[in-house]
Amino acid sequence: MANAGHLHILIQRLSDSVFHDEVKVLMPKDTYYITTPIYYVNDVPHVGNAYTTIIADTVSRYHKLKCEKTYLLTGTDEHAVKVAAAAADKGIPTKDFVDHLAEQFKRVWASLDVHYDDFIRTTEPRHIQVVQAIFARLFEQGDIYKGEYQGWYCIPDETFLAESELVDGKCPECGRQVEWVQEENYYFKLSAYSDRLLEYIESHPGFLQPEFRKNEVVSFIKQGLRDVSITRDNKGWGITVPGDDSKVIYVWFDALINYISAIGYLSDEERFNSLWPADLQLMGKDIFVRFHCTFWPAMLMALGLEQPKVLFGHGWWSINGEKISKSRGNAISPAKLAEDLAEESGASRDVCLDAVRYFLAREVTFGVDGDFSIASFKNRFNSDLANDLGNLLNRTLSMLNKYFDGIIPGPKGLSGGLAQVIAGSAKTAQETCDKLEFTKALEAVWQMIGAGNKYVNDQKPWELEKQGKTDELAGVLYSALEVARAAAIMISPFMPATAVEIARQLGIADSFAGLKWSDITAANPFVPGTKTQGPDPIFPRLGTKKKEAKVVEEPKPAEAPQPEKTEEYISYDYFSKLKIRIAEIKSAERVEKADKLLRLQVSLGDEERQIVAGIAKSYEPEALIGRKIVMLTNLEPAKIRGVVSNGMLLAADGADGGAVLLQPEADVPAGTKIK
């Protein structure tokens, strides 16, 4: 049984302790600090949970490109009840089990070209000591008290739940059975921070992102916060409560503290002050509202620490319309995806990994749900990478080899308005990357690439060569090479290996690592006489396999006369394959340079998607937000004017030739199936 006097001594002892085995790295004040959640060590990452870390690595690389120092933290959460259970099932000591899996995570991040600055494990002494010190301090100041807990607990999600939160008696998040827990526990006074949390969120509009998830947090807090049970009975795994070995600290109280224990809280004040508050904390939507936007900020308030600048909860990836699940067997490893693409295309494994990274950043708006399909992934590879970027580089270098022996001519200056195109794309890409709008940033880059390809087509360098216009020919090729160079710099946070390969082929490999974002618009960046390499196709276009001939069988006699079928009819079996649901429009905006198209973010209740609809002449974007629509959800994703549409809304032809949205007569929930 703990007592205040004993805990006071513990606070002093734990706070005064210094982790001598840790290297003290004093960071400057301008360091951009990024965190991922720490991951349960129950399986290696798949496309869904690797997404956060790949994006975090992209953000880190982007800020380094802007000459900012960054610090990226990731790690593993090892004290979960289900982790101990999994180890027991395998007959392995729990510590050995988590040691093995933590190393697997490190290998996976290395294979995905993720460059983190620290990897924190919750079983490390540097973390355990800080957790115990914080627990002791909050107990002494009255933010933690002892009481009896009676209620529901979800073991897979490590979450305490009220009766009102259950759905059909099950966990609202994972849909699995919950267990009734009745035990004496320690509580954190979360309820005491409701008003302060709401006030802080209101006065800091950029704190919780994206905006629609912020609304979920506010609604959750206003429903009434309950004090949180933050201990469990000690069954041999977990961080023990200081002064009370009969209890271990609740995994979420333990895990959230990693963000400050890893950077020197209570052990290296100078280092901690140079990094905290975090500039960006990324996590999936499932742990956004309850834990990171309610429990975590309240803990920081109790400790008197500043809040992170931005907490961002992104959506989930599904696979071909289905939730990623080990039981479904549809979890795709990003590394395996890259290896399969490399085998099929002949591209290098690193380039194919970049294709995965590019797809994840480009396919859907960061923050909403997305659907991953092999078909849409390969389409991006062929269209964006092989046809657009690859084509610009390959044909320009081919003509340079043919006409100038692969040697870059003296600076000719950019023509055809390309200087303005490059500057405009760089400006847009920077503004959108700063706002974590990666889809828009990459769209800006690809508009520049498209302008470069159009410029080559329009100038017809092959005709200039026939006409003997050598200076004009040199100027055209020099300008096209500048577009390729600018593209390499701008895509380097998203596709690092590809950017390096482009630089190698352009003959600027030695200087490329030192280039910064500001160098995108540098005047006359190529040294005259530079010898280029290649061209070596970076993205060999995926071939189309020949279709197998269909075997036509003699028709069997029908048991009964069948009605004659015409093109007007489809079978019931065919119709049953169509998935039509109610969707709610969350945001709407016009597609650039497309008068008829709107880009819509819609909610289907359990997921969110992006679709493109040709209704811009009938509806203003602002008037659509909040409206319910009818949507075909299992239509194969398609790219419309460079924007991916993952579904189709249904509309009728209006009398004036415009569109009339179909919508339910009654207010039914988003996601409702239409029969």
pLDDT band for position 543 (cuts 50, 70, 90): confident
Same domain, 111 and 35: yes
Under 8 Å between Cβ of 180 and 152: yes
Read off the CATH number of the domain in which 428 is found: 1.10.730.10
Residue 550 has pLDDT above 50, yes or no: no
High-pLDDT (> 70) share of the chain, %:
87
Q: Is beta strand 240-241 parallel, antiparallel or unpaired with respect to 244-249?
A: antiparallel
Whole-angstrom Cα distance, residue 74 to residue 81? Answer: 21
Instruction: Determine how many CB atoms are found less than 10 A away from the CB of residue 164.
Output: 6
- Any idea which of 231-235, 458-462, 475-479, 639-643 has the lowest mean pLDDT? 639-643
Residue that is written with structure tokens 């084509």 in the block = 391
Whole-angstrom Cα distance, residue 263 to residue 37? Answer: 15
Please, where are the H alpha helices in 74-154? 81-90, 94-111, 125-140
Residue at 16 is within a domain:
yes
Same domain, 221 and 83: yes
How confident is the model at residue 412, as a pLDDT?
Answer: 61
How confident is the model at residue 413, as a pLDDT?
Answer: 65
pLDDT band for position 6 (cuts 50, 70, 90): very low
Tens of pLDDT along 478-519?
A: 999 999 999 999 999 999 999 999 999 999 999 999 999 999
Tens of pLDDT along 265-319?
A: 999 999 999 999 999 999 999 999 999 999 999 999 999 999 999 999 999 888 8
Into how many domains does the chain fold?
3
Sheet containing 608-613: which strands, arranged edge to edge? 608-613, 598-603, 580-590, 628-632, 648-649
How confident is the model at residue 570, as a pLDDT?
Answer: 60
Residue that is written with structure tokens 């093109």 in the block = 567
421 or 651: whose pLDDT is higher?
Answer: 421
Tens of pLDDT along 161-184?
A: 777 778 877 887 677 788 887 778
Residue at 335 is within a domain:
no
pLDDT band for position 332 (cuts 50, 70, 90): confident
Q: Is beta strand 208-209 parallel, antiparallel or unpaired with respect to 643-645?
A: unpaired
How confident is the model at residue 557, as a pLDDT?
Answer: 39
Residue 5 has pLDDT above 50, yes or no: no
Average pLDDT of the segment spanning 359-374: 92
How confident is the model at residue 15, as a pLDDT?
Answer: 45
Same domain, 274 and 392: no
- Any idea which of 95-109, 239-253, 366-380, 412-426 has the lowest mean pLDDT? 412-426
Tens of pLDDT along 205-223?
A: 999 999 999 999 999 999 9
85: exposed, middle or buried (Cβ count in 10 Å: 0-12, 13-18, 19+): middle
Residue at 673 is within a domain:
no
How confident is the model at residue 654, as a pLDDT?
Answer: 65
pLDDT band for position 249 (cuts 50, 70, 90): very high
Read off the CATH number of the domain in which 639 is found: 2.40.50.140
Same domain, 607 and 499: no
Listed residues 496, 521, 546: the one ending a domain: 521
How confident is the model at residue 186, as a pLDDT?
Answer: 95
Same domain, 12 and 113: yes
Listed residues 501, 521, 541: the one ending a domain: 521
Residue 428 has pLDDT above 90, yes or no: yes
Listed residues 521, 536, 552: the one ending a domain: 521
Residues 6+ apart with CB under 8 A from 29: 274
How confident is the model at residue 330, as a pLDDT?
Answer: 72
Tens of pLDDT along 18-66?
A: 333 333 444 455 799 999 999 988 766 777 778 999 999 999 999 999 9
655 or 136: whose pLDDT is higher?
Answer: 136
How confident is the model at residue 639, as a pLDDT?
Answer: 77
Sign of CA dihedral 602, 604, 608, 611: negative
The domain of 141 spans: 4-315
Residue at 257 is within a domain:
yes
Sign of CA dihedral 82, 83, 89, 95: negative
Same domain, 30 and 137: yes
Read off the CATH number of the domain in which 107 is found: 3.40.50.620
Residue at 449 is within a domain:
yes
How confident is the model at residue 554, as a pLDDT?
Answer: 35
Same domain, 507 and 649: no
Residue at 402 is within a domain:
yes
634: exposed, middle or buried (Cβ count in 10 Å: 0-12, 13-18, 19+): middle
Same domain, 291 and 395: no
- Calculate the average pLDDT of the chain: 86
326 or 477: whose pLDDT is higher?
Answer: 477
Same domain, 277 and 394: no
How confident is the model at residue 446, as a pLDDT?
Answer: 97
Same domain, 94 and 228: yes
Residue at 359 is within a domain:
no
Same domain, 311 and 385: no
pLDDT band for position 193 (cuts 50, 70, 90): very high
Same domain, 220 and 123: yes
- Any idea which of 346-350, 390-394, 576-580 has the lowest mean pLDDT? 576-580
Burial 535-560 (b: 16+ CB within 10 A, else e): beebbbbbeeeeeeeeeeeeeeeeee
High-pLDDT (> 90) share of the chain, %:
59
Cα dihedral 165, 168, 169, 175 in deg (nearest 10): -80
Tens of pLDDT along 368-427?
A: 999 888 999 999 999 999 999 999 999 999 999 999 999 998 766 677 789 999 999 999
Residues 6+ apart with CB under 8 A from 85: 155
Tens of pLDDT along 604-627?
A: 876 778 899 988 877 777 667 778
Residue 567 has pLDDT above 70, yes or no: no
Whole-angstrom Cα distance, residue 152 to residue 171? Answer: 9
Residue at 346 is within a domain:
no
Q: What is the pTM of this model?
A: 0.76
Whole-angstrom Cα distance, residue 432 to residue 467? Answer: 43
